[in-house]
Amino acid sequence: MIKKPALYVRTSTDKQQKGLESQILALKQYCTQKGIEDYLIFKDFGVSGAKSARPGLDALLFSVKRKEVSEVIVYSFSRFARSTSHLLKALDDFKSYNVGFISISENIDTSTPMGQAMFTIISAIAQLERELIAERVKTGLKNAVSKGKRLGRKKSRNSKLIQELASQGLSYRRIADLADCSISTVHRELKGVLK
């Protein structure tokens, strides 16, 4: 089977027909300049880029996995993915299937040394972003604990009532009925007390 380049276009709303047409025109002109005559076109019309599951994108990824695609060509990163993590996951998948990725607006082609370098830089920035977010969350949690704030969900069971009913020798089921909670809640409350 001969692999073909795949063109992917997307608009966020169904009122952007001209936006879809202009992307297709730009990608076709790119193909003409590069001597590419035979290609597949995948479209998502009126679909948010924040959604990782899109009919056109899903069909494109299926074709990539079936080894029908040689490279994916998009007008810009934003037409393909709205988040760095989504873009990186797709680029990793493409790499594993030996499929190139070209964004004509950003002038990036992952099959070239410069494109590979850009991919590495984007990956490093995304990793740094994830680590900084994790660090901020940890710092925020430590700060909250140091100020005496309780973390997690507020306990909603009536511990005093459950323990009082248990001391009367009632079954877990009867305690759960009277305390208006589940049997597992009764068990969780009493497992520490009954040791």
Closest CA to 170 of 154, 151, 190: 190
* Selected catalytic residue, list 12, 22, 52, 78: 12
CA–CA distances in Å: residue 66 to residues 29, 84, 132: 27, 25, 37
Q: How far apart are CA 195 and CA 186, in angstroms?
A: 15
Is 12 marked active-site?
Answer: yes
**Residue 180, Ramachandran bin (φ over 0: left; ψ between -120 and 50: alpha; else beta):** left
Q: In sequence order, what are the residues at sequence separation of 6 or more whose Cβ sits closer than 8 angstroms to the Cβ of residue 189? A: 157, 159, 162, 163
Query: DSSP character for 52?
Result: S
Going by C-alpha positions, the residue among 36, 46, 48 that lies closest to residue 73 is 36
In three-state secondary structure terms, 43 is strand
Please check whether residue 127 is in contact with residue 133, taking contact to mean a CB–CB distance below 8 angstroms: no
Cβ(101)–Cβ(110) below 8 Å: yes
Q: Indicate the length of the chain as a whole number.
A: 195
Task: Name the residues annotated as catalytic.
Answer: 12
